[in-house]
Amino acid sequence: MAKAIAACILGLEGLELTPEERKFFSDTQPVGFILFRRNIETPEQVKSLVASLKALVDHEALILIDQEGGRVRRLRPPHWPDYPAAGRYAEVTNDPNEERELVRLGARLMAHDLAELGINVDCAPVLDVPQPDAHEIVGDRAYGHTPQDVAIMGRAACEGFLAGGVLPVIKHIPGHGRAGADSHMDLPRVDAKLDDLMRVDFYPFQVNADMPIAMTAHVLYNAIDNRNPATTSKKCLKIVRDVIGFEGLLVTDDLSMNALSGTLGKRVKAALRAGVDVVLHCSGQMAEMEQVVHETPKLKGKSLRRARAAIKRILRVPEPLDVIDARARFDMVLARGQEAVTKVDPTESQAS
């Protein structure tokens, strides 16, 4: 009889599993695992590690990674191709249709890289709409500076990931673009009016609300809940479900981030009580994971159905792709765009 699935996604310490981790993960049965640079060395090593993780659980494990391109990427040369940051695509072409196709192709190629390793979830795309006075934590990780651009290009990325057999994670719902602080370090507080949030910040998530997984923002929105960040706010997560219309699997951002307060156990309980389906803990430190797991229930009801629905959307046979040809086309367009940028008269960008 299959063991019940725990409502958590966990990190691990190194390049291979320790005996202690093997027993802990087998006993816990987390819904998934997340990989970081500390877990990655070569393609063969990653394949072996992923296979070992999957073998420890009685269900189809979600294997997550942050592979956005640009400054947020866990797989890097020389073993894996490099990809541009999301904001770079708009610099390559002035044709929105060509940009959309390029974004989709980039995501499709990234999905190919991940699927070859057994990784089935990418924590991308970023659907935040960065504002001029916000912290640079989002910056060029976003596909543009208007909600329409972010929504359209974000959807293209989602389509590319799904076509390659990898689930996208839209983040950071309901929007991190106005945050004046890095939530890894501090709790951002946003003072925007609800109408402005709905018109700008929520819009890309509404357009992509049919995606399988979303990650919450550790951001406090005074217009919604002046006491709790979205991750632990019932009011905010009700908006995610009822206004934005997201019905998929809702996962927290990393519980270890300094935007959240209280012990890890209290953070777990607060997030689940607010309405998330699954909590995410990334450090791989055993003592911390034990605290998280101690307060994490088994998946059941709507949360279990959402997890199963997400897994069903992983294409067993990805859409056909001539990888060599596709990568050559992708690189050619990027190079053409870079050449055009370098030929621009530098005085054109100076204030008059």
How many residues appear in the chain?
352
Q: What is the pLDDT of residue 350?
A: 31
Per-residue confidence (pLDDT) for residue 179, from 0 to 100: 87
| pLDDT digit string, tens, across residues 205-257 | 999 999 999 999 999 999 999 999 999 999 999 999 999 999 999 999 999 99
Q: Is 233:190 a contact under the CB 8 Å cutoff? A: no
Q: What pLDDT is stored for residue 315 in this prediction?
A: 87
For the four alpha carbons of 295, 301, 303 and 305, in that order, the dihedral sign comes to positive
pLDDT for the residue 144: 93
> What is the predicted pLDDT for the residue at 312?
95
Q: Which residues are catalytic?
A: 184, 253
Domain ranges of the chain: 6-337
Q: What is the pLDDT of residue 170?
A: 98
Q: What is the pLDDT of residue 180?
A: 78
Report CA torsion sign: 48, 283, 32, 181.
Answer: negative
Q: What is the pLDDT of residues 189-203, one digit of tens each?
A: 999 999 999 999 999
Low-confidence ranges of the chain (pLDDT < 70): 337-352
pLDDT at 74: 96
Domain spanning 6-337, CATH architecture: Alpha-Beta Barrel (3.20)
Q: What is the pLDDT of residue 352?
A: 28
Contact 161, 122 (CB under 8 A): yes
pLDDT of residue 135: 83
Ramachandran region, residue 139 (left: φ > 0; alpha: ψ -120 to 50; beta: rest): left
Q: What is the predicted pLDDT for the residue at 339?
A: 55
Q: How far is it between the farthest Cα atoms of the chain?
A: 72
Contacting residues for 278 by C-beta, under 8 A, at least 6 apart? 7, 8, 9, 31, 32, 249, 250, 251, 252, 299, 303, 307
For residue 122, the cross-strand partners are: 65, 168
